[in-house]
Amino acid sequence: MRVRSAFLLLALLAALPACGSEPRPDPGPAPRVVAGYFTEWGVYGRNYRVKNLETSGAARRLTHVKYAFGKVDGGRCTVGDDWAAHQKPVAAADSMDGVADQATDPLRGNFGQLRKLKAKYPQLKLLWSFGGWTGSAGFATAAKDPAGFAASCRALLDDARWAGLFDGIDIDWEYPNACGLACDASGPGALTGVLAALRAEFGPKALISTAVPGDVGKLRATDYAGAARHVDWLGAMTYDYFGATTTGREFRTAPHSALNAYPGIPRATATTEATVTELLNLGVPAEKVLMGVGFYGRGWTGVTAAEPGATATGPAPGRYGKGIEDYHVLVDRCPPTGTIGGTAYARCGGQWWSYDTPATIAAKVAFARSRSLGGLFAWELSGDTAGAELLTALSS
């Protein structure tokens, strides 16, 4: 906990001008979007509910919440998990207004609570996100009939049970015309066709966004400048550049979300700065670029040294997956021992983790402002502390 306090103090001191010095020039316009993903499955093992957005203070700091994920099945938008989304009864203690769901209520679960959240925080905009790492296979079919896909999404968002809840839609295709969990060969114009159909279906006032890869090579595989014409913003997934999940090669530690390159980085373009620069060079307007920040760490075990680049035997254990853990767990269990490339790392015993802290996020916000970007977003909100330390830094 002392390390965390020190990082917060350094961030505050860094924001103050030196005694007797001239005031620092304005680094750029303040980001207008502070978005965060709320995961549908968080209500299970993570026990993260809509009410946590209020108790943590996140609801006051966010401008947009992205609800992840709906499914793309047969080229059509469908509910991801009906039970969690709109059927699961919420107890009084877990409810936004302290009132328990009844069996006769037409809308329960996350959607019922999100409706109560928006009533209390009317400034919040809500988007339903479709796809994700394990749910992107259906986009290839959707790209063959963009108008039919768009019509199905509009019908789903307008379902009488939750009509008016969502202000728009987010497309998380990983990755168009490139490889994610599987490889796609829909062509460089496929994403643009899907987004153009969504804009035509939803109209000019609806919010439409799309996630885009952090990998520079994947960015060059699709016409993202064309896609940008039809959306309010593109959310760059500027994290997961490295991790201990790859098999069949030697494991070496490397920060998964560096802001900029550092001596010895395994791949020079595996940084937030390189991703943002590539998007701008491709012709995407800066005001339509959102920069992603991970609220979690990537970890290795069997590590031989404290500095990045050390050999390891494999991924460190995590509660929900190998080599991955939430920030609110890591900051106490394995607190930061250093920074490199604009992000933090930690060595504890034989484990090595990389993750962002309030101080490194403050630097990323300053970078976003210096490039006049549209804003930032978090993947995902349950990884933060009970007092939303990371989101506080993201929104400052």
Which residues are known to be catalytic? Answer: 174
Phi-psi bin for 137: left (phi > 0), alpha (psi -120 to 50), beta?
Answer: alpha
Cα–Cα separations (whole angstroms), residue 39 to 85, 120, 122, 169: 10, 20, 21, 15
How many Å is the Cα radius of gyration of the chain? 21
Q: What are the strands, taking DSSP E only, across 183-285?
A: 207-212, 233-236, 251-252
DSSP state of 350: T
Q: Which two tokens stand for residue 155?
A: 């019908």
Q: Which two tokens stand for residue 289?
A: 């670029």
Instruction: Read off the amino acid at residue 111.
Output: F
Bridge partners, 290 (sequence order) = 235, 375
Q: Read out DSSP for 135-158? A: S-TTHHHHTTSHHHHHHHHHHHHT
- Euclidean distance between CA atoms 221 and 249, whole angstroms: 26
Q: Which two tokens stand for residue 201?
A: 């279906």
Q: Rounded to 5 degrees, what angle do the CA atoms 82, 294, 126 make? A: 40
Instruction: Read off the amino acid at residue 151.
Output: A
